[in-house]
Amino acid sequence: AYCNSTKVAVSQGDRIDPMANSGAGGIAENILRRSMQLAKTAPSERLQTLQAISAYAPTYALAADIYFEIGKEAAKTNITEAKTAFRIANGLIEKRNDSQTPFHAASLVEVARISLEADNVPSRAVEIFETLKDAHMEDSIHVDLLVLTGRAHVLLGDLHAAITELTRALSLPECTSTSLAHHELAIALTKSNG
């Protein structure tokens, strides 16, 4: 039903620039964002629903957000599919060629998480941090990135860099990852003193 409603909204003259930022997609975007929320809380077939609605996204920004959710859902069962979805999300944002928001930061943070936790390649997490370090992102995403980068530096044996990044994470406004930053900083400090 949501996909049909979106088709109607687009076909009835809801003219949309596909390069527009999030929020500029009119009625179609509002319908798809609501559909995305419902799909995330559905008892089953979440991935299939998200994949179906991705075809109707009127802007690259919305399509990227949907692919981000596809990646998060896929990560529960198929890491390869999740990485592909996160890369698609980032690629959609890169297509916009927007100097203020050149990346889908949340997707790249998830790729860093997979590199660190599933692939056991901490250097990849550090590379992603270097790519994103000057990009604008929400504080909670920034904290996640700094925690992952700190953990990667610990694994690589660079405790000074780990402590620096984890301390930076704690300087940002409190979010759900703040407690993890405290925990990881305690580990790094213990290792540097031991």
pLDDT for 55-97, tens place per residue?
888 788 889 999 999 999 999 999 999 999 999 999 998 887 7
Q: Please name which of 57, 86, 91, 58 lies closest in space to residue 73, comparing C-alpha atoms.
A: 86
Q: What is the mean pLDDT of the chain?
A: 87
Residue 23 falls in which region: left (phi positive, over 0), alpha (psi -120 to 50) or beta: left
SS3 76: coil
Q: Among 2-11, 55-64, 123-132, which range has the highest average pLDDT? A: 123-132
Task: List the structure tokens of 107.
Answer: 């997707």
| Torsion (CA) 26, 29, 34, 38 in degrees, nearest 10 | 160
Average confidence (pLDDT) over 131-139: 88
CA distances from 21 to 59, 70, 87, 131 (A): 8, 20, 19, 21
Residue-wise pLDDT for 11-26, tens only, equals 554 555 555 555 555 6
Percentage of the chain exceeding pLDDT 70? 86
Q: Please name which of 151, 108, 156, 104 lies closest in space to residue 129, comparing C-alpha atoms.
A: 108
Percentage of the chain exceeding pLDDT 90? 59
pLDDT in the model for residue 18 = 55
- pTM, two decimals, is 0.84
